[in-house]
Amino acid sequence: MSLIRTSERPRALLVLADGRTFEGVGVGAAGHATGEVVFNTSMSGYQEALTDPSYRGQILTATFPLQGNYGIDEFSDESREVQVRGFVVREMTDLPSHWRSRSTLHQYLAERGIPAIAEVDTRALTRHLRSRGVVMGTITRDETAEEALARLRREPDYAEIDYVATVSTREPYQFRDPRVVLELPEDGSAPPHIVVLDLGVKRNIMRLLRQRGAAVTAVPHTTRAEEILALRPDGVLLSPGPGDPMLLDHVVETARGLIGRTPVMGICLGHQVVGRLFGADAYKLKFGHRGANHPVRDELTGRVYITAQNHGFAVDGDHLTSDVVPSQIHLNDGTVEGLQHRTEPVFTIQYHAEASPGPNDTEFLFDRFMSSVRSGDAVRHAR
Amino acid sequence: MREEGIRSILVNSNPATIMTDEEVADVVYIEPLTVEVLERIIARERPDAMLPTLGGQTGLNLAIDLAEAGILDKYNVRLLGSSIRTIRLAEDRQLFRDMLTEIGEPTPASEIVETWEQAVAALDVVGLPAVIRPAYTLGGTGGGIAYTHEEYERIVRNGLSASPISQVLVEQSLLGWKELEYEVMRDANDTCIVICNMENLDPMGVHTGDSIVVAPSQTLSDREYHMLRNSALKIIRALGIEGGCNVQFALAPRPDVVPWTGSDSAARLPYHVIEVNPRVSRSSALASKATGYPIARVAAKIAVGRSLHEIQNSVTEKTTAAFEPALDYVVVKIPRWPFDKFGTGDRRLGTQMKATGEVMAVDRTFEGALQKAIRSLEVGGRSLLWQKPEWTSEPPLDATDERIWAVLAAIRGGMALAEISRRSGIDPWFVERLGRIVEMERVLLHDELTPTLLHQAKRLGFGDREIATLADWLPERVRSAREEWDIRPAYKMVDTCAAEFDAVTPYFYSTYEAENEAVPSDLDRMLVIGSGPIRIGQGIEFDYCSVRAARALQNAGVQAIMANSNPETVSTDFDTSSRLYFEPLDEESIRDLLANEAGEEGEAPTSIVQFGGQTAVNIAPRLANAALPIAGSSADAIDLAEDRGRFGAILTSLDIPQPPGSAVSTIEDALSTANAIGYPVLVRPSYVLGGRAMEVVQDAGELRRFFGAALAENTGAVLIDKYLLGAEVEVDAICDGVEVLIPGIMEHIERAGVHSGDSMAVYPPQHMTEEQRAAVVDYTTRMALAMNVRGLMNVQFVIAPAAKPGGPGVFVIEVNPRSSRTVPFLSKVTGVPMVQIAVNIMLGRSLAEQGYAGGLWPEQPLVAVKAPVFSMSKLVDVDTFLGPEMKSTGEVMGVDHTFEPAVRKAMIASGLEIRPGTPFLLSISDQTKDESELLIRTLHEAGCRMYATPGTARLIRSLGIPAETVPKRLNEAHPNVVDVIRDGIVKAVINTLEGGRADVRRDGFHIRRTATEARIPCFTSIDTARAAVASLASPGSYEVRPLNEYRDPSTIAPAHR
């Protein structure tokens, strides 16, 4: 059915800036999609990934060939909208099966205006990207490869755009989730207050904090340190987000104003910002880390955790100041996966402890953050 | 282990496996796996540690027994992998439940009840539907599933009375829940990873070994996937396993099947932990092949103290073993059941596993993987399109080995997909996919075959043959159309990382996509065609041969390409060959991969068909037709051996006797042949391995009955031969066209009439005269040369001097110019590397050039007995008597310096051990009564109390020996034959039967089945019984030593010098 029906769907092309072209059929919305083409090796979690703001400006390729198997549900969006520019798959099913499913992946993308291409030899594409590095590309249904390539060359490069500005909240807001009841402290005091600097936050980060008894406020990326401290936070979380951290001088300054005055946890882009603050520029990886199987070794315990990752930039460990230690490293390529401040309650991780999608091995880091928040709380109350 | 600098000592009783080859471990013992034997090995070798977790349940049980006997402590042997505490935690139901409760992991509610009042209370805990299992009843008699209170009361009350101790287990029913498995690894540093998760297409209720399994899971959301992953990791940590572990889960598929859940249903549905195996298991093997992650290798390294991140990922050679494989394909496993041989067996699938083997296929679509797996099954002509004539509009959708075909038939018949899913419990996702296959069938039936349509059909996994059937073309025309339209498979790599890293494993599968990664090499190379799924008649022996062939090629500087479809084998380990194609072993797939290897202009590599059993041999003529080269004996030589007319002519010209007979195709010819040669006659289809549909018939009536079955095998003619009662003898020989090397002669303990695969074989022969040996060597040599054999040949003889007085009385029954199931056994006991020599011959090196001469290899100063192993206790309704049709699924070996201890060891290893004083039940047929006298006396002298059916009891008493008469018929007095077995009054059974008379078989059927289910030795051949009882008479001690120490050190094969 679906395959036969997809044969009735319009032919589509994925054209890369280096001239390589992949044929497929158009699914999702009509129209063009242009972005940096990246791949993710996770075998599940497409809805969470598509709505992860860190994919802003990118065309996502799923290496697992069957996408859409369990449909789309009402709980798995990680942000308000689909964030990817386009989606590249081997096969997109019209026949999902899951009791929670409310629509098909195709409908979901079509309704949100996101073009996608199916029936692509995604393994060939992945092999191309891994050897050549990530590259700009465009999905088209109504052009020849030459026309699409010419158009692609006129569009701005991924590196030129500050995507954080496009995904961050415009106004501060308090995070609420009817599925997570906020448990208030037994002694009647106010719950700890965590401010999340929204560089492209995923909902599950805020959900996990709320599950741990925190009242969560998200603030725009432009919020300055003094403004954040004025909200009387018990801790600040620097969120993940899209794009090049070298474009985010203002966020580095904000971090500088927070550290030493409140516990700080940084995730992904938030981690890279803290890295910059302590002397290390970020550099672009050839094809990034995107998947749910990335091994990270905790340098203190020697234990290895399997983590979800989604980043194209890494912190240059060679230039860190002695204020921080690279506390975790990636087993495959030795890149810095975590920083620990020597004296302040500040730690960061390059990977996604919040999972969604991905493994929950490192969810305990939110407990660690909350306990540093709570001990700070105790100190404050003692004063 | 060797990589870690550790000296390893391996013990196993199975001669057919690669692991008992002397190159694998530093010291190899082929000895029975008992506490006594293990203690003697430990005392002699004084190992520092023992690793039981790679030897399946046998290894774990033995570890517990050794620990309990204090042997591990006595010799200070450390247990690696899992501690005794861990093994007990996982094996003991109550301890396991307590552990799960402690760590907050759910298990199905259950209660043990002994009264109806307790049962009422239990219902509050368990809820409906509930499973009721009476304690200590065979095959779950008196149990069932209750959906209503009325049913509950009825079944519980029945169960309480059926149970001899009035006890039933009432358990929450998880029928219809999804079944999932996680393969987990943990190291001593507490790093835990999941290698693979797998989803059973068959919902809960079918043993996972009998389920169609898909990897990775297809219908789980990310949240559900990780919920179960978290649980699996928690469990392996709680158990403290250092190595691999397998966790099975049941997951509620929809809220409506779990009406009593409430609170958390918004986010996730409940699951239960069903089972944990604290060891490497069958599922681990599948997971290894499905992901490319070498689980056993890593588990062994962890066991000796390595951390996961210190072990290199041998697939990428860049990353470490501490990661989780990412798949970019779909894997489907289908079990291989023995019902093609056991037509009377109960085909329903439940909690007792019935499959003997499995196949796996890989593709980038589910449909493709499924269809390739079905093509790999090799069940007599049963393609995806097969359906039973009686399946009309509503095929039965309950769990049997035929369900996947029944579902397809139901879809073709128009049943709504949702209805199929509801009735079968199979998730709608899978049913929809099957629906898509049927939709493509319809299109192929009605539409013109165009390039686009053909391409789509290939992407959905349709074989050329099925497309040809549907489009009403010849298969060869589909193939040439594919060539013309450039529709050919691409080969992609299984690399553990979804192409993220450059991988070095040459492990490929076919798919219809753009980019081909299996670029042909310009080195010398040859294809070894493997043997497919393990089934009765074609076991692991042929995988041994395939693996040895690959090694021999590599040793000779030739790239070995391996093709196989069986995930349970060593041949499909990616480091066994230079390049592995995980593909169906049919004409289409083999020709496709040969075409890929040939490349645009090159030549296809030569194929080796001698080592893959009948599977590979069957492909030979098809390759020859397609002008593809075959190594060694030609397709014509193979046909020569199987074509009765041509073969008979050769034997006549060589003046070598064979039992009179001929090949016929009508019942009239069969009857006249039988009349001419005289009954009894042996009836069998030609071109069939494992004696399927083979019978010894006594008269015209029986011939009529069995002829149809033999003809229905559809392999051409039916062979009718004079049945000669005599000793059966078997040789394997190696021929280079000039000389013939015979490593050894094996004599069967059972006389002709028992299939050679079910016979106990003895090396060297114990009862042959010099003249007979000389005749066997002479006939074998002349036949091999006359048939122009290049490589291996197996010959079976019957020795019946009475049939032709004056000569040696040696008759040729059968010749197969290929590797046989005795090749590993004979290679090991004689030390002659038969496969390696044969491969070198195929590469053009003569026996002389390899340092061997023709003739019989020096006889070794040892006696080795190969004994069959059966899995009959799982196959309800299958008669266990030994006959011309093969029934065994494996083998063991007993070796010693003399016959009696060797037989005794073979008996111990195959579960037929009898000790002095064992009470026996005897029911001996009239034909064998004369030969039973010595046996009865020996039993008596060994203090064995005898119970016997009336005729046999009279015989025993006539010898002046007391015997207790037991009624044969079940409706007469108690205790009857079944009672004495069930109640444990007798601990062994001798039940012989005459000829092939089906009605006589029925008489003893209850005796044999009951003995099998009670798991006590049951001898159905007087010869086996005599051998077993003879070993009882001389119970003296047996040796325990490494295999090579039994052999004569002065006759080491040139290859090993």
Domain ranges of chain B: 2-90, 109-172, 186-220+234-278+280-325, 368-484, 496-619, 660-723, 916-1033
- Of the candidates B237, B202, B200, which has an alpha carbon nearest to the alpha carbon of residue B220? B200
Of the candidates A123, A303, A305, which has its C-beta nearest B499's C-beta?
A: A123
| A268 given a catalytic annotation | yes
For A2, phi then psi, to 5°, come to -60, -45
pLDDT at A296 over 50: yes
The packing angle between helices B475-484 and B451-459, to 10°, is 110
Q: Which residues pair with A91 in a beta bridge?
A: A66
Q: Cβ separation of A123 and B513 shorter than 8 Å?
A: yes
Each residue of A103-125: pLDDT tens digit? 999 999 999 999 999 999 999 99
pLDDT at position A150 is 97
Cα–Cα distance, B833 to B856 (Å, whole number): 14
Q: Cβ separation of B500 and A130 shorter than 8 Å?
A: yes
pLDDT at position B263 is 46
Residues on chain B touching A287 (C-beta within 8 angstroms): 500
Q: Which of A354-368, B150-164, B522-536 has the lowest mean pLDDT?
A: B150-164
C-alpha distance from A106 to closest chain B C-alpha (Å): 16
- The domain at B186-220+234-278+280-325 falls in which architecture? 2-Layer Sandwich (3.30)
pLDDT at position B970 is 72
Cα–Cα distance, B641 to B643 (Å, whole number): 6
pLDDT at position A1 is 39
Active-site residue among A78, A221, A268, A294?
Answer: A268
pLDDT at position B874 is 65
Strands B130-134 and B168-172: antiparallel
Q: DSSP assignment, residue B350? A: S
User: CB of B126 within 8 A of CB of B185?
Assistant: no
CATH for A164-382 is 3.40.50.880
Domain covering B109-172 assigned CATH 3.40.50.1860 in the classification: no
Cα–Cα distance, A145 to A128 (Å, whole number): 17
Q: Is B660-723 in the same CATH topology as B2-90?
A: no
Cα–Cα distance, B505 to B765 (Å, whole number): 45
User: CB of B638 within 8 A of CB of B817?
Assistant: yes
Q: What is the largest CA-CA distance in chain B?
A: 89
CATH homologous superfamily, domain B916-1033: Methylglyoxal synthase-like domain (3.40.50.1380)
Once rounded to an integer, what is the mean pLDDT over residues B242-258?
89
Once rounded to an integer, what is the mean pLDDT over residues B797-819?
89
* Residue that is written with structure tokens 């340190």 in the block: A225
Question: Is B280 touching A (CB cutoff 8 A)?
Answer: no
Question: Is B447 touching A (CB cutoff 8 A)?
Answer: no
For A106, phi then psi, to 5°, come to -60, -50
| Cβ neighbourhood burial of B607 (10 Å; 0-12, 13-18, 19+) | buried
Q: DSSP assignment, residue B984? A: T
Once rounded to an integer, what is the mean pLDDT over residues B657-669?
88
Third-level CATH fold of B2-90? Rossmann fold (3.40.50)
The C-alpha angle B482, B487, B489, rounded to 5 degrees, equals 115
Residues on chain B touching A69 (C-beta within 8 angstroms): 218-219, 429
User: CB of B877 within 8 A of CB of B837?
Assistant: no
Question: Is B309 touching A (CB cutoff 8 A)?
Answer: yes
Percent of chain B with pLDDT over 70: 95
In sequence order, what E strands does B230-388 have? 243-251, 271-277, 330-336, 357-363
Each residue of A251-294: pLDDT tens digit? 999 999 999 999 999 999 999 999 999 999 999 999 999 999 99
Percent of chain A with pLDDT over 70: 96
Sign of CA dihedral B13, B14, B19, B20: positive
CB count within 10 Å of CB B593 equals 23
Instruction: Report how far apart, in Å, the C-alpha atoms of A271 and of each of A169, A214, A255, A315 are.
Output: 19, 21, 10, 8
* Residue that is written with structure tokens 């580095």 in the block: A252
| Cβ neighbourhood burial of B973 (10 Å; 0-12, 13-18, 19+) | exposed
Helices (H) then strands (E): counts for chain A: 11, 19
pLDDT at position A353 is 97
Each residue of B303-319: pLDDT tens digit? 999 999 999 988 888 88
ipTM of this predicted complex? 0.97
pLDDT at position A8 is 76
Third-level CATH fold of A2-160? Glucose Oxidase; domain 1 (3.50.30)
Q: Which of B9-13, B495-499, B813-817 has the lowest mean pLDDT?
A: B813-817
- Average pLDDT of chain B is 90
C-alpha distance from A294 to closest chain B C-alpha (Å): 6
pLDDT at position B261 is 46
Q: Cβ separation of A3 and B190 shorter than 8 Å?
A: no
pLDDT at position B13 is 96
Once rounded to an integer, what is the mean pLDDT over residues B995-1005?
60
Question: Is B32 touching A (CB cutoff 8 A)?
Answer: no
Mark which residues 425-444 of B lie under 8 Å from A by CB: 427-429, 432-433, 435-436, 439-440, 443
Q: Cβ separation of A331 and B319 shorter than 8 Å?
A: yes
Once rounded to an integer, what is the mean pLDDT over residues B662-675?
89
Higher-confidence residue of B231 and B975: namely B231
Domain covering B496-619 assigned CATH 3.40.50.20 in the classification: yes
Each residue of B870-880: pLDDT tens digit? 877 666 677 88
Cα–Cα distance, A68 to A66 (Å, whole number): 7
User: CB of B611 within 8 A of CB of B546?
Assistant: yes
Q: Cβ separation of B220 and A42 shorter than 8 Å?
A: no
User: CB of B829 within 8 A of CB of B763?
Assistant: yes
Q: Give residue B694's pLDDT band: very low, low, confident or very high (50, 70, 90).
A: confident
pLDDT at position B402 is 93
Instruction: Report how far apart, in Å, the C-alpha atoms of B545 and of each of B269, B571, B835 are.
Output: 49, 9, 6
Each residue of B841-898: pLDDT tens digit? 999 999 999 999 999 999 999 999 999 998 776 666 778 888 878 888 899 999 999 9
Residues on chain A touching B501 (C-beta within 8 angstroms): 130, 332
Q: Which of B639-648, B705-714, B964-973 has the lowest mean pLDDT?
A: B705-714
Cα–Cα distance, B673 to B367 (Å, whole number): 49
Question: Is B306 touching A (CB cutoff 8 A)?
Answer: no
Q: DSSP assignment, residue B365? A: S
- Of the candidates B605, B521, B533, which has an alpha carbon nearest to the alpha carbon of residue B571? B533
State yes or no: cis peptide before B129, omega within 30 of 0: yes
Mark which residues 740-779 of B lie under 8 Å from A by CB: none
Active-site residue among A36, A119, A337, A354?
Answer: A354
Each residue of A139-183: pLDDT tens digit? 999 999 999 999 999 999 999 999 999 999 999 999 998 888 888
| A354 given a catalytic annotation | yes
Q: Cβ separation of B223 and A356 shorter than 8 Å?
A: yes
Q: Give residue A126's pLDDT band: very low, low, confident or very high (50, 70, 90).
A: very high
Residues on chain A touching B220 (C-beta within 8 angstroms): 44, 70
pLDDT at position B265 is 43
Q: Give residue B453's pLDDT band: very low, low, confident or very high (50, 70, 90).
A: very high
- Taking CA–CA distances from A302, the nearest residue in chain B reads B189
C-alpha distance from A332 to closest chain B C-alpha (Å): 5
- Average pLDDT of chain A is 94
Tokens of A115: 């073009």
CB count within 10 Å of CB A356 equals 24
The domain limits of chain A are 2-160, 164-382
Beta-carbon pairs below 8 A across chains A and B = 180
Once rounded to an integer, what is the mean pLDDT over residues B617-637?
93
Once rounded to an integer, what is the mean pLDDT over residues B247-272?
73
User: CB of B434 within 8 A of CB of B385?
Assistant: no
Q: Cβ separation of B433 and A95 shorter than 8 Å?
A: yes
C-alpha distance from B220 to closest chain A C-alpha (Å): 7
Higher-confidence residue of A115 and B718: namely A115
pLDDT at position A94 is 87
Q: Cβ separation of A41 and B326 shorter than 8 Å?
A: yes
pTM for this model (two decimals)? 0.94
Once rounded to an integer, what is the mean pLDDT over residues B201-222?
94
Question: Is B853 touching A (CB cutoff 8 A)?
Answer: no
Of the candidates A127, A355, A359, which has its C-beta nearest B499's C-beta?
A: A127
Once rounded to an integer, what is the mean pLDDT over residues B794-813?
89
Mark which residues 357-376 of A lie under 8 Å from B by CB: 357-361
Domain covering B368-484 assigned CATH 1.10.260.40 in the classification: no
Tokens of B697: 């018939």
User: CB of B110 within 8 A of CB of B126?
Assistant: yes
Third-level CATH fold of B660-723? Dna Ligase; domain 1 (3.30.1490)
Cα–Cα distance, B413 to B415 (Å, whole number): 6
Once rounded to an integer, what is the mean pLDDT over residues B541-563?
97
DSSP, residue by residue, B597-642: HHTTTSPPPEEE-SSSHHHHHHHHHHHHHTT--B-SS-HHHHHHHH
Question: Is B302 touching A (CB cutoff 8 A)?
Answer: no
pLDDT at position A3 is 46
pLDDT at position A382 is 43
